[in-house]
Amino acid sequence: MEDKLKVALIYGSTRPGRFCDTVAAWTAAQLTKHGAFTVDLIDPAAVEDPAIRRQRLAEADAFVIVTPEYNHGYPAPLKHLIDSAGSEWHAKPVAFVSYGGISGGLRAVEQLRQVFAEVHAVTMRDSVSFAGAWEQFDGAGALKEPERAERSMTTMLKRLHWWATALRSARETTPYLQTA
């Protein structure tokens, strides 16, 4: 039996009363349900030694970013978290779960794809998006109509698993080229 892949699930928001907790909890449950992943929750709102956070990022085989869209973009604390690391992102896949108003966070995701390309990460084409997210979840954090989101998540996680496995093997066989 192959080892489980370690996925760092990264919260994109630090706002008080954030809805990110609800979406991240659903995402973590889906990752666990998939069965091929162990999940490490990384929350930029948590007080943590930067060296420890970088180590946690380095240990990840893949990343899932849960991000809202604020003013047609992604939150500044998420950008800070990305920029606070370097080679920890190299040659690893990144998947997105986004939420927001009418766009469901897709504009934030498109901007994040550019950022992750620059840090040598591979972004997944498939994602999960919640337009009008506040209306899609009940008070206990469960989706009112989960079928579509669960189908999208299943596809995304199958592809994330493939990429994480392939890239982990590649990194073990041939270290990713580091430049000065």
Q: For residue 5, is pLDDT > 70?
A: yes
The residue-averaged pLDDT of 93-116 equals: 97
For the CA atoms of 138, 143, 144, 145, what is the dihedral angle to 10 degrees?
170
Q: For residue 1, is pLDDT > 50?
A: no
Q: For residue 160, is pLDDT > 70?
A: yes
Contacts of 100 (CB under 8 A, 6+ apart): 68, 69, 108, 130, 131, 133
The chain-wide mean pLDDT, for the chain, equals 96
CA–CA separation, 154 vs 152, rounded Å? 5
The residue-averaged pLDDT of 128-154 equals: 97
Question: What confidence score (pLDDT) does residue 179 get?
Answer: 64
Q: Are 125 and 96 in contact (CB under 8 A)?
A: no
Q: For residue 180, is pLDDT > 60?
A: no
The residue-averaged pLDDT of 70-84 equals: 97
Percent of the chain with pLDDT over 70: 97
Instruction: Specify which residues 137 forms β-bridges with.
Output: 143
Q: Are 15 and 77 in contact (CB under 8 A)?
A: no
Question: What confidence score (pLDDT) does residue 76 get?
Answer: 97
Task: Check residue 112 and give left, alpha or beta (phi > 0: left; psi -120 to 50: alpha).
Answer: alpha
**Among 108, 142, 148, 110, CA closest to 128:** 148
pLDDT, one tens digit per residue, over 12-35 is 999 999 999 999 999 999 999 999
Which option is the CATH number for 5-173: 1.20.1600.10, 3.40.50.360, 3.40.50.850, 3.40.50.1820? 3.40.50.360
Q: For residue 79, is pLDDT > 70?
A: yes
pTM for the structure as a whole: 0.95
Name the pairing type of β-strands 122-123 and 62-68: unpaired
Question: What confidence score (pLDDT) does residue 178 get?
Answer: 66
pLDDT band for position 175 (cuts 50, 70, 90): confident
Give one DSSP letter per residue of 56-120, joined into a string. HHHH-SEEEEEEE-BTTB--HHHHHHHHT-SGGGTT-EEEEEEEESTTTTHHHHHHHHHHHHHTT
